[in-house]
Structure 1
Amino acid sequence: LRTPLSSLMTHTEVILSRKRDVDTYEENLYSNLEDLKRMARMIDDMLFLAKSDNGLIIPEQQHIALEAVVAKLFEYYQLLAEDRGVELKLAGHGSIRGDLLMLHRAISNLLSNALRYTPAGATILVTIDEAAGTTNLTVENPGPSIPAEHLERLFDRFYRADPARREGSRSNAGLGLAITRSIVAAHQGSICCSSVDGRTAFHMAFPQYGQPRETE
């Protein structure tokens, strides 16, 4: 939280150092508002993770067709993908029991991450399949490979693999993958990342819809 706080204080101190016109005050207030929004998102994210740590994240139990969730997210990201010359492709289908909003957030984090590193003219591929009582969803994209020593730590909070693959820019605190892992775990699933030969993939696995769930 130091970065947005420092920015807010600096902007405000500079503006208050002398009298200025109304347009300058308004411009500074808009700038401050952006920093306040970033701080609010960061606090919400940290609160979500704190609840997850204490077992307070309890997903709803409804039938969810993952291909429908991905298709909806493709609609949301389509303009951004087109601007970057990236194609979005979906293959397969599968269903699980879970919380629609949580799963929407988890998959959205992975798509946003993939869009950040996919070069123009390439394709982000989401594949869904069911096998042996498990529903699998993979988000795969071409781009710079992630060194093997970083793969296990990608889901740690605030972790930075390297400057070329920063999860967080000024508007991103680096909590997206940690939140995704918490959501997957709350659905009794697992998530991992593979990155080799210029292709990076995040693999999620959930109990298939209709399969008995573990109980405490």
Structure 2
Amino acid sequence: MQADLPRRLAAEALGTAFLLAVVVGSGIMGESLAGGNTAIALLGNTLATGAILAVLILIFGPLSGAHFNPAVTLAFTLRGEMEKRTALAYVAVQLLGGLAGVLIAHAMFAEPLIQASLKVRTGPAQWLAEFVATFGLLAAIFGCLRFRAAAVPYAVGLYITAGYWFTASTSFANPAVTIARSFTDTFSGIRPLDAPAFIVVQLVGAITATLVFGWLLAPQALPAEAVEQAAE
């Protein structure tokens, strides 16, 4: 059973803040230690992000469902598993938590607190990558919830770990993360100008995954012959 709404919102805010602190902080650390080797910096960023996702879902999943992501919240709302007002509250605290996490990362590494990213991430290839990243993230969540719910934390962490490397965009797959990362001019940043297109395709990916897996994973009725045999 999930907690009451104030605790659920607190869990979403804390979880999203921790997520962004790790994404941005590990990006700063990775870049500073990699000696100019972008692959090594990305590897450090990847491992930290995938690991913290598993940990955060294990901590906060029983409280709020551990969305930390407006695209995930949208998907569960479309499935009729969240009220619209609750979903809006989730999104609001996810956005605030994400921004807080970026500020915390900046403070930990003695960076200017308020920044705007100059890192260009745009174009059809990047947009397709974000659609694929978000679609796959929801596939991992829905598939595990249907067949092996206890595996969700590990599936999500592993999927994002893979997504950092198989998508051209490094798998943001999260509007709150996208907005927050536009406020850091560090390794993990994205230009504010490029963020809206990412967010649009992320939401489209979430909607598409909800429709596809709503059909794919729906319980099937037994054929009439099987029903008759079971009744005998």
- Return the TM-score normalized by structure 2: 0.26
Higher RCO, 1 vs 2 (CA within 8 Å, ≥6 residues apart): 2
Point out the structure with the larger helix share. 2
Q: Is the strand fraction higher in 1 or 2?
A: 1
